[in-house]
Amino acid sequence: MKPLVEPFLGAYALAQPLSPVPLAPVRLAPVVRSGEAVGFSPVAPCRVAELGCPVGNTGQNVREGHTTKALIDYCTLAFSVSRLHEWFSNNGVFTDQGISEFVEAVYPGAGFKVGQVQEKFVNYCPLSARIHGPDGTPAGHFCIAGDSARVMIDLTGAGCRWVQNWHHVAAFMDTMGGRLTHADCAVDDYDGSVVSIRQLKALAESGAFKNEGAGAPPVCSFHDDMGSDKGCSLYVGQRGHKQLNCYEKGKQLGDPSSEYVRVEVRLYGKHLAEKSLPSDVLRRPYAYVVGAYDVLAELFAAAETSRPKTVKAQVEATVEASVSWLGESAGAHLNLLRISLGDESFLQLLTERVQRDKVPGRFRGLGAGADLGALVRDSSLSLLR
């Protein structure tokens, strides 16, 4: 079976912006008729932001002149098997080849590898298969519902790093009648120059996250690291509905001096019409971030996020944390060996007896791919300056 590709080429071409265009923030507001939510009603924008729509998460296929204000950092898509004759039969039989080709059709060029289907519950589905990125790191799951009538692709943040073209994914979803049940849209402030976690906490305490015209203010909670420099987190809203999660990403990765902050809006489709978010979320994640809470539009007017910058910032924080860990855990032992052996024999001992021919797990999930060596080298050398 060959993956269905041709029908989406036209949609993909139309979806690609040729130049940065003004996009208004979009607020997800259910239209209520007869007491039931039946769809989205755009809410008047709180401001207009100039940005270029993100094409992919890798940054490799974003044309010059485009900026990405936000990234897709989690994505769950559901499809009816009756619409997927190209890959699956209606009798509940799913082949390894059909599953792999279907995942490739949804995410072409991502290089995902799908494991064997097992009897393991994931997202309320009794059958699932692990999805790994091209570097072997866990990226998500392919899930089969109990009645075999529905399938789901659940991509984690690590999996979203490999997506080459979100416009294609959105076009595929629209054409095949898919549903977007969960999406996380993230804005990164790499050096804390735009927002800080304490600033966001103060805004929450002042009620700034209550949108104009909304009912009761959203529930807020703050997880304080109590000065341990492990990183603080702010939560606004409820998981499963709409939730804002702001946290100190650099400190979470292990760098106590990092100012790197991530602001992430988690959107869910289960309370909306057809149990789905609009596919436009995948094309314009920034519009939905600033549309979620009015105050975010003003805060992020100067922020620019891109996958290469995000990966670089995360590698830098991870290198800092790794070097600190190595010094605390084995620094004294390494010092004794160097004094005892001299530089040449010390280096030989490290090469032949200490080092391992593999990459630490904390680096494998960063999505740096072939650039990891260069990024680690630059980050390590910066510690010597």
Per-residue pLDDT of the chain (385 residues; tens, 9 = 90+): 333 333 333 332 333 333 333 345 565 644 333 333 333 333 333 332 333 344 555 443 333 333 357 899 999 999 999 999 999 987 778 999 999 999 999 999 999 999 999 999 998 999 999 999 998 999 999 999 988 899 999 999 999 999 999 999 999 999 999 999 999 999 988 888 888 999 999 999 999 898 877 778 899 999 999 999 999 999 999 888 889 999 999 998 888 889 999 999 999 998 887 889 999 999 999 889 988 888 888 787 655 555 566 666 667 777 777 787 788 888 888 888 888 989 899 888 888 888 888 777 667 655 566 677 787 877 787 777 6
- Alpha-helical (H) ranges within 258-306 are 280-283, 285-292, 294-299
Q: Which residue has the tokens 């995000």?
A: 310
Q: Helix (H, G, I), strand (E, B), or coil: what is residue 298?
A: helix
End-to-end Cα spacing for the chain: 55
Listing DSSP states for 26-66 in one string gives ----EEEETTEEEEE-PPPPS--EEEPPP--SSSTTPPTT-
Q: Tell me the whole-structure pTM to 2 decimals.
A: 0.69
φ, ψ at 333 (rounded to 5°): -65, -45
pLDDT of residue 313: 66
Q: Which two tokens stand for residue 223?
A: 């997880």
Residues 6+ apart with CB under 8 A from 176: 79, 83, 84
C-beta of residue 123 within 8 angstroms of C-beta of residue 179: no
Structure confidence at residue 67 (pLDDT): 38
CB atoms within 10 A of CB 21: 11
